Structure 1
Amino acid sequence: MAKLSKDDETARVERMTGYEGRYREADGYTIAFEKFEEGGDFTPFYQGLPDDLCQSHHWGYVVRGRLIMHTPAGDEIVEAGEAYYTAPGHTDELDPGTELVEFSPTDELARTLAVVAQNLASDAS
């Protein structure tokens, strides 16, 4: 069994301006606690993926704030207190102060985040 708390100091932690994520991997899945202090529309960071869309499944729960999943079929809004599932083929937008818990297949997530990281790096330069 794997577990993770939002303050777990043994987790893999990633920080950048306006963001903190804590991650633990187990049995092919990644558990994440994420805080988006600044929020924003993250659509540009998926450029270079097929159809410029996230290629990972996600199951999650919005603890605080609001998440908007942009899909070709239209936008889905998930607010604090609601759980969600989304298939590959989306981008996301978060209100400032949003916090969520998310579960994703590790391999799909890693391939997607590799492209996101490249886009973040070129955006910072």
Structure 2
Amino acid sequence: MHQQMKELPLVEDYGEGFRSRMVEWGGMIVSYETFPNGTDATPLFKGLPGDMCQAPHWGYILKGRVRIKTTNRDFVLKTGDVYYLEPGHVPVYEEDTEVLEFSPREAYQHTIDVVNKNIAASPGAKPLMSERHD
């Protein structure tokens, strides 16, 4: 399977540069996402262990800068970096950022279920990901 990154199915367009394109292949979520400068994911993970994302991710920073907060330390990923994020992290986007990321579907879905509940509790909320990923 293959597809142009920017032609993956658009899952959500939140406006202001926050877009999420995803597909599921072989039990993995393949996502191309853009985040505007200043996006802090901290409130999205409330209710998960440590109030942090519990899905592992492998990815590449196409453009931008993101600070990753963990229980033990903070570190920065920037344009051109490849990465692996263990469960237990929170991203804070310090520049307009584009990422290509791969995540196991089951762990990702569990995290997104909680994220969607938190988004739903906010005015004008939309879910980040539906159950369908084709």
- TM score, norm. by length of structure 1: 0.90
SS in 2 for 1:73: coil
Quick one: which amino acid aligns to residue 100 of structure 2? V
Q: Does the alignment pair 1:59 with 2:52?
A: no
Q: Does the alignment pair 1:41 with 2:43?
A: no
Distance 2:109 2:117 in 1: 12
| Partner in structure 2 of residue 103 of structure 1 | 102
Moved over 2 A (4+): 2-7
Among 14, 17, 42, the alignment partner of 1:16 is 14
1:12 Cα deviation from its structure 2 partner: 4.5
Quick one: which amino acid aligns to residue 3 of structure 1? H
Q: 1:39 to 1:3 in 2, by over 3 A?
A: farther
Distance 2:3 2:48 in 1: 29
Distance 2:15 2:102 in 1: 23
Structure 2 unaligned regions, length at least 5:
125-134
Quick one: which amino acid aligns to residue 67 of structure 2? I
SS in 1 for 2:13: strand
SS in 1 for 2:2: coil
Identity, in percent, stands at 34
Quick one: which amino acid aligns to residue 64 of structure 2? G
Distance 1:71 1:84 in 2: 14
Q: Does the alignment pair 1:82 with 2:85?
A: no
Q: 1:96 to 1:17 in 2, by over 3 A?
A: farther
Aligned length: 123
Quick one: which amino acid aligns to residue 31 of structure 2? A
Is the Cα–Cα contact under 8 Å of residues 22 and 32 in structure 1 kept in the other structure? Answer: yes
